[in-house]
Amino acid sequence: MNLFYSNNIDNEKGQISLTDQENRHLIKVLRKSIGEVISVTDGVGNTYKCKIINTDKTSSTLSIINIDKNDSNFPKLSIAISLTKKTNRFEWFLEKATEIGIHEITPIISEHTEKSNLNIDRSNKLLISAMKQSLRSRLPILNTPISFEDYLIEKKCGENNFIATCKKNNYSLFEKKLIKGFPANVLIGPEGGFSNNELNFAKNTNFMPISLGNYRYRTETAGIGVCMIFSLINK
């Protein structure tokens, strides 16, 4: 099954338009033609069964046959994760987190972060590709990079806020503190970890320190570990 993505949906006319890369994939790669039926997601939980009614080099028009609305009550996981020095490692995290299932990703810049910029357009394309490949109907929210302090101030009033640390302070494991059925917000630091000042600041802004186990993980590995634990606890 091939899944396409479009946010150009006219529910009044019952039509969807595919353009750019999605249209090229439809007519050039898969060589789909008028009359064939395909599936399209809008990235917000809906999957549309559609019939192709017109195609050309710039766009294709689809007629909506029916809509499968995903009203899942699966709790939302938000991860604020330090940018990594090597872009391909951060992009690997974006891809795999989308495949596993994540609601929101916020790149953060902390004391030991070695990079401060991210190509948002390229990253969103990776998210779309991972969503389609895994046949998911929800596209994760990707925010622009923000400082560690600003993120904590923004989120301090929330609940189920956690900060992952590898410091040996006998902190509880993430899975022991995670409450099934509730959303969670988790901070993941750079490879140098969060500083003591950052950890104390997090504690004072309603973020609970947690451990991911006895081993020290790379930033992107820790992020995927959090995704897996959250998914397994709530399945």
- Look at residue 168 in the predicted model and tell me its pLDDT: 73
Question: What is the mean predicted confidence (pLDDT) over 131-137?
Answer: 95
Domains of the chain in start order, with CATH, are: 3-69 (2.40.240.20), 77-234 (3.40.1280.10)
Q: Is the pLDDT of residue 88 over 80?
A: yes
What are the pLDDT digits (tens) for 46-68? 999 999 999 998 999 999 999 99
DSSP state of 182: S
- pLDDT reading at 148 higher than 90: yes
pLDDT category, 71, cuts 50, 70, 90?
A: low
Q: How many CA atoms lie within 13 A of 226 on its CB side?
A: 34
Residues 163, 125: Cα–Cα separation, whole Å: 28
Q: Across the chain, what does the average pLDDT equal?
A: 93
Is the confidence at residue 158, as pLDDT, over 80? Answer: no
Task: For residue 57, count CB atoms less than 10 angstroms from its CB and return exposed for 0-12, middle for 13-18, buried for 19 or more.
Answer: exposed
Q: What is the mean pLDDT of residues 11-26?
A: 93
* Statement: residue 228 has pLDDT above 90: yes
pLDDT at position 157 over 90 = no
pLDDT, mean of residues 119-136: 96
Q: What is the pLDDT of residue 70?
A: 78
